[in-house]
Structure formats: structure tokens, C-alpha cells
Amino acid sequence: MIRPLLSRRLVLGGTVLLGVGLGVPLGRARAATLVQVRKQRGCSCCDGWVEHLRANGFICEVSTLDDLTSVKANLGVPEALRSCHTATAEGYVVEGHVPASALRRLLAERPAIQGLAVPGMPLGSPGMPGEPVDEYAVIAFAKDGTQRTFMRFSGERETI
């Protein structure tokens, strides 16, 4: 009997080793989330935010546009919460410099909201280097216009 070159054990073992090599905890491997990012041409902080997401295991597909006003309006981002880039992930809107940990929590909990936003461009938030770092809130917003604080941060560090 001829044995196939790649046995099931070899493939499964290689998959586990690849996951460990990529920093994925054993037993917790899952497909990476695709984040579709729309950014304005020439905005370097948007590139920094994309790199932050990629470094935290997200797959980013980036579209560069001259004007995002209609994108933000079509996705229902309230004007007061708008920032320099807009993204979508698994049906949620992600506006501005939202830390990867907040996005992970959103996707794990799946609350009945439209999305998350970090209005403005707080210093120290992902993609916005600078000192001293700002304290800021990640705001959850819903289609009915309600808003609430989802998480609080100082730079990239979650606060209570």
C-alpha cells in the first residue's frame, strides 16, 4: 500500500506549529478578520492605524479616496464622531483611531450597535504618535442615534 506524502497528522501538526509561530495561542486559532479601510489620500496617520491593526492580527484592505464625506454619510457615521478614516468589519462601522483591542471586543460581544468611533485624532491613539498621550473614549453608536462610551483609553492603554 502506498502512503500519501501528506498525512492528516502532518498537515494538522504543521497547522498547529504555524499558528504557534504566528503567536496564536493553542486551541484559540481562528480566521483573521477582514477590515475594509477607506482613507483619504496623503493621510499618514491612517497608514499608522492600518499597521496597528495588521500587527494585531487583522487583515486590512485599503481604499484611498479623495473625499470620504459620502462614505461616512452612507454608513451612518454621526457628524460629531467623524475622523480621518472609516472602516467596516463584519457588518460594523469603525470610525477613526479605534484600538485593536476595542475592535476585538466588539467582534466578540457583537452588541446591537452600528459601530465604534474615536472622534478627532487623539495623541497616542493607534496611528497618532505623540506626547503627552491623550485620554479618550471609544464611542458606540447605534442607528437610532444613541451613543455611549464603549471603552476608555490613555494612548493605546485601556483605562477604567
Distance of alpha carbon 160 from alpha carbon 154, whole angstroms = 10
115 φ/ψ angles, rounded to the nearest 5 degrees: 175, -170
pLDDT digits over 95-140, tens only?
999 999 999 999 999 999 999 999 999 999 999 998 999 999 999 9
Spell out, as residue ranges, where the chain has pLDDT lower than 70. 1-30
Kindly report the pTM of this predicted structure: 0.80
- CATH pick for 32-159 out of 3.30.70, 3.30.300, 3.40.30, 2.60.40: 3.40.30
Cα–Cα distance measured from residue 21 to residue 15, given in angstroms and rounded to the nearest whole number: 10
Helix (H) or strand (E) holding 147: strand 147-154
CA distance 75 to 86: 9
Q: Can you give the pLDDT at residue 81?
A: 97
Which of these, 100, 65, 105, lies nearest to 85 by C-alpha position? 65
| Annotated domain spans of the chain | 32-159
Residue-level pLDDT at 30: 58
pLDDT for position 2:
44
